[in-house]
Structure 1
Amino acid sequence: MLLTISTTYQPATDLGYLLHKNPARLQSIEVAGGQAHVFYPEATAERCTVALLLDLDPVGLVRGRGGASGEGFALEQYVNDRPYVASSFLSAALSKAFGTAMNGTCKDKPDLPAQTLPLAVKVAVVSAPGPDWPRRLFEPLGYEVEIETTPLDPTIPEWGDSRYYTLHLRHEGLRLQDVLTHLYVLLPVLDNDKHYYIGENEAEKLLHRGGDWLPQHPERGFITRRYLRYLAAYVNPTLERLMEGDKVEDDTFTANLTPGPSPKEREANPEPDASSLSGAPSFLERGSGDEVDAKGDQRLSLHDQRLQQVAHEIYQLAPKRVLDLGCGEGKLLRLLLRQPKIEYILGMDVSHQALARAAQRLHLDEMPPRQRTRIDLIQGSLLYRDERLAGFEVAALVEVIEHLDENRLTALEAVVFGQARPAHVFVTSPNADYNQLFEKLNAGEFRHDDHRFEWSRAEFAAWAAGVAERHGYEVRLERMGEEVEGVGAPSQMVVFTLIPS
């Protein structure tokens, strides 16, 4: 993979001072998986270009790597796009080769790092969800963005373009430090992968490198989630810190976001939490992300409230076989496993990575054999018929439908209610009426960047009624979270019950 940065600032060779790399010689640096080479294809007073060439060894990338060697096709570990695509490997190389410049330090010319320069950047190549995404990430930062597409096969044009693009960025006046920082953060975001362990230090790194510009970026949620690999333990607190405590993300905000009852009102009308419910089953618990109010009482996050409400409803039905459709990282599965009357649980998700995290969260490889036979995880889509979904009494779709395009809900309906036909189906979704209470959420915006729609209470009820009528179910609507007069609760749930024939 190749990155070049050019400037016409006079004298252009000052680029060498900024980067602490002499234009007169090639420099090679050892990096994870290979070598990075820094050289200057051109270095004159009028124009100077530095190139960072990253040469990764596919065999070296595999050595010492954990995980099952049988994943994917037989040679996937050796035949893949990692040596060619700008990714976290390139970010690590940027930090190692140009770390001093990224920190805004120049020993020989101390005033130079603050100088804005005309800069042109070329990255060959980037991987992106679509050609629009590089623009959505870089244009808000003031760049002029040009994309070169790459055909899947130049000899077969009807196959169309691949997901790989050559990226050109231009800016008429920006510090080199800022350009390097933007590339460092955003290239792995486009690639949506990282070659190293994600921990708390990675969140701190994002705050350090993105703190000056990320809070104002319109795609800050998308960037943060991808940079931190969708790990809620790091994503949610990082977004809160970026936004100075304003919680907008759907899985971030909690039950006490809006002004709740005063301490005196609470004392007069105590609201029981999950652990104090009379006769509450043992699987109900306080979530790890609970907040503490002024009285020292823990309050469950809305996300945990949803899961526990669904788990409690399922507990009351005492089913033997349960489906968790769109199971994600397995939080609901963990609660279901604590219900002894459930004999078998099947979790399904379209994301292989989410399933891997669920298996890790549930410690499947350490489960006693008898417990292990109670649960399976499978990859699949709710938009296609799947015989594996038949024969279950209960199915749960917790915050799933809003991640699909509305015109694809017909396919989901056919799979879940037409083919699988569980006796009970639980579907939860955000209540769009409630969104007006969030100051940072503009009219028409969604709580989550991946949401395709968010329905009002009336729209949700109308959809549920239509599904029930078409497939022979009864419906019951429930609120989820603290209700506010005029707008309802933050989330909503419909319980479908199959009408006996």
Structure 2
Amino acid sequence: MHLIIKATGTGAGILSHLLAKNPNNLYDRIEKEARVRIVFTVSSEEETEAVIYVTPDPIELVKGSSSAHNDITQYINDREFVTSSLFCTYIRPALGTALNGKPKEAYLPWVGQRLALELSFGPVASNLPDRTLEELFTALGYEVVLERGEAEYSFDLKNRSSVRYIKLKGFQTLQTALQQLFVLIPALDDYKHYYISEDEVDKIRRYGEGWLQDHPQRALILKRTLRFAGVIKQFEALEGRTQNSGGASVDENEKEAAVKGSMDAPNALPDQSFESEAPEEPKVRLNDLRYAAIAATVEALQAKASIVDFGSGEGKLSAILANVPGVRDIKAVEPSATAQLRAMDRFAKLEGRQGTIVPKPVTGSLFYFDESLRNKDVMILCEVIEHIDEHRLARVMETVFAEYGPKTLIITTPNKEYNEVYEMEQEEMRHGDHRFEWGREAFSAWCSRWTTAFGYSAELKGIGEYMEGFGCPTQIAIFTKEETSQ
């Protein structure tokens, strides 16, 4: 992960002074669990270039993690390589002088001087489409170039890769340019390694001063940096009070009251409110609606004694199905050991309950055939297929239909058309790990492919609130094996 800062033309030589780094010396420090190095590859009055390179310690990255000893995902994530919120945390101490605009007194007049800058950083792993990435920076006056790596694939994946390198070119003060990057780099990634707390609200307000308020993608930036609706509301309230007071600082007691609550809770609900007014009716979550729809579908089936819940996660759906009359056996299949441990805790609470069976956790994946899962009454893939690369999905489904051969297969997946109702960008996906999302027509065509080839019929429905022209937020397909005449 790296950031290259290049200045050319008038004032280029001042770059090293604004960064408070001697261009003739190598800056080499350990910050948290990473090695941060800064080297000047060019240093003259006409052109100066500083390369900031970070090498995290992969062992330190997982220390203290609750999943470090129970889950293999620590070995297959990209946090060690991509330019993200972690990267900003690592380099902030090294760039503190420039970020705060406080070089030596002799160079203070240059803090507000615009320079001809080129900023290159990456790799960035973002689920945002190229167009949106470009709009985030062109709105700030930069020319934008997006590049992908030179790796060659035997199939056309390069142009669909979420990993890109970003190069910006424009006239800007170094302080403002860095502050913009420290807001936007974490916004590009769909992952943050720290809690969203009062400090984060203050940071966005401080670094966003003078440019964020008028940015056309301001709502998207706040959504991806502050995450939770309640926190965003408090940010807006603080911004409004600041502007209404003619730029005066907000009283510290008011600020504390405004952000008081569980902002720093990592699992706060997106629609969590911090208002002190009368409580609202609890909102029904889409996930609960999906589980209820699947449970109702299973209950209506004649053959439902044996169930396979693929990608069962923490076992919520399996626990619900355990109460459906007529169900005798549930295999909750999940590759994550951490999720399985939580599922086992949930299943243990079902022991001894009248009319309830206890699901059996199974370590497994759709990519590995398990003979014990064949010929079951029901197989469920709830919000699973969109996490599989499209070029691999066909092979997985062939295994499901031809080898496992369930009497009934239930699949749910997001309806891409409904993303517009959520005011999402056209190519934005609902989750950072989604490899694709289909509209109703595409999903219907895909389902027809399997009914024709393997002797199943399919019924397609929607789950969640229906909107004219967009359908429902979730699609559900119920495949039923057709009986063959003897």
Give the equivalent residue in structure 1 for 2:297. 313
Is 1:491 aligned to 2:474, yes or no?
Answer: yes
C-alpha spacing 1:365/1:148, structure 2 compared with 1 (3 Å): same
C-alpha spacing 1:67/1:50, structure 2 compared with 1 (3 Å): same
Report the Cα offset of residue 309 of structure 1: 1.8
Unaligned runs of 5+ in 2: 237-267
Distance 1:137 1:178 in 2: 19
Distance 1:469 1:40 in 2: 63
Q: Give 1:299's match in structure 2, choosing from 283, 307, 318.
A: 283
Is 1:47 aligned to 2:47, yes or no?
Answer: yes
Give the equivalent residue in structure 2 for 1:346. 332
Where 1:299 maps in the other structure, the secondary structure is: coil
Distance 2:213 2:364 in 1: 37
Is 1:325 aligned to 2:310, yes or no?
Answer: yes
Q: Give 2:438's match in structure 1, choosing from 454, 458, 469.
A: 454
C-alpha spacing 1:294/1:424, structure 2 compared with 1 (3 Å): farther
Q: Give 2:343's match in structure 1, choosing from 333, 357, 362.
A: 362
Q: Deviations over 1:165-223 (max 9, x none)?
A: 995724121332454345546667888877x55555797589556792997559959x9
Where 1:297 maps in the other structure, the secondary structure is: coil
C-alpha spacing 1:494/1:57, structure 2 compared with 1 (3 Å): closer
C-alpha spacing 1:439/1:16, structure 2 compared with 1 (3 Å): same
Report the Cα offset of residue 426 of structure 1: 1.8
Report the Cα offset of residue 82 of structure 1: 7.4
Identity of aligned residues (%): 26
- Which amino acid counterpart does residue 416 of structure 1 have in structure 2? V
Is 1:7 aligned to 2:7, yes or no?
Answer: yes
- Which amino acid counterpart does residue 32 of structure 2 have in structure 1? A
Give the equivalent residue in structure 2 for 1:393. 377
Report the Cα offset of residue 32 of structure 1: 1.3
Give the equivalent residue in structure 1 for 2:32. 32
Q: Give 1:426's match in structure 2, choosing from 410, 413, 418.
A: 410
Report the Cα offset of residue 7 of structure 1: 0.8
Give the equivalent residue in structure 2 for 1:335. 320
Distance 2:478 2:157 in 1: 43
Q: Deviations over 1:392-431 (max 9, x none)?
A: 3222233444566777664444222232122222223445
- Which amino acid counterpart does residue 7 of structure 1 have in structure 2? A
Where 1:422 maps in the other structure, the secondary structure is: coil
C-alpha spacing 1:484/1:26, structure 2 compared with 1 (3 Å): closer
Distance 1:14 1:421 in 2: 69
Report the Cα offset of residue 389 of structure 1: 3.8
Distance 1:446 1:385 in 2: 33
Q: Deviations over 1:241-290 (max 9, x none)?
A: 7999xxxxxxxxxxxxxxxxxxxxxxxxxxxxxxxxxxxxxxxxxx9667
Give the equivalent residue in structure 2 for 1:270. none
C-alpha spacing 1:66/1:490, structure 2 compared with 1 (3 Å): closer
Distance 2:67 2:190 in 1: 19
- Which amino acid counterpart does residue 119 of structure 1 have in structure 2? L
Unaligned runs of 5+ in 1: 228-233, 245-286
Decide whether the 8 Å contact of 2:377 with 2:406 is kept in 1: yes
TM-score by length of 2: 0.64
Distance 1:220 1:104 in 2: 27
Distance 1:492 1:407 in 2: 21
Decide whether the 8 Å contact of 2:28 with 2:35 is kept in 1: yes
Distance 2:323 2:97 in 1: 52
Decide whether the 8 Å contact of 1:25 with 1:39 is kept in 2: yes
Which gives a bigger RCO, structure 1 or 2 (Cα 8 Å, sep 6+)?
2
Q: Give 1:375's match in structure 2, choosing from 353, 360, 364.
A: 360
- Which amino acid counterpart does residue 494 of structure 1 have in structure 2? A
- Which amino acid counterpart does residue 174 of structure 1 have in structure 2? Q
C-alpha spacing 1:454/1:219, structure 2 compared with 1 (3 Å): farther
Distance 2:129 2:427 in 1: 18
- Which amino acid counterpart does residue 49 of structure 2 have in structure 1? T
Give the equivalent residue in structure 2 for 1:415. 399
Distance 1:57 1:401 in 2: 33
Where 2:93 maps in the other structure, the secondary structure is: helix
Decide whether the 8 Å contact of 1:336 with 1:342 is kept in 2: no
Give the equivalent residue in structure 2 for 1:92. 89
Distance 1:454 1:85 in 2: 28
Decide whether the 8 Å contact of 1:396 with 1:425 is kept in 2: yes
C-alpha spacing 1:315/1:112, structure 2 compared with 1 (3 Å): farther
C-alpha spacing 1:214/1:419, structure 2 compared with 1 (3 Å): farther
Report the Cα offset of residue 31 of structure 1: 0.9
Distance 1:12 1:473 in 2: 68
Distance 2:272 2:412 in 1: 22
C-alpha spacing 1:454/1:191, structure 2 compared with 1 (3 Å): closer
Where 1:376 maps in the other structure, the secondary structure is: strand
Aligned length: 432
Is 1:116 aligned to 2:99, yes or no?
Answer: no
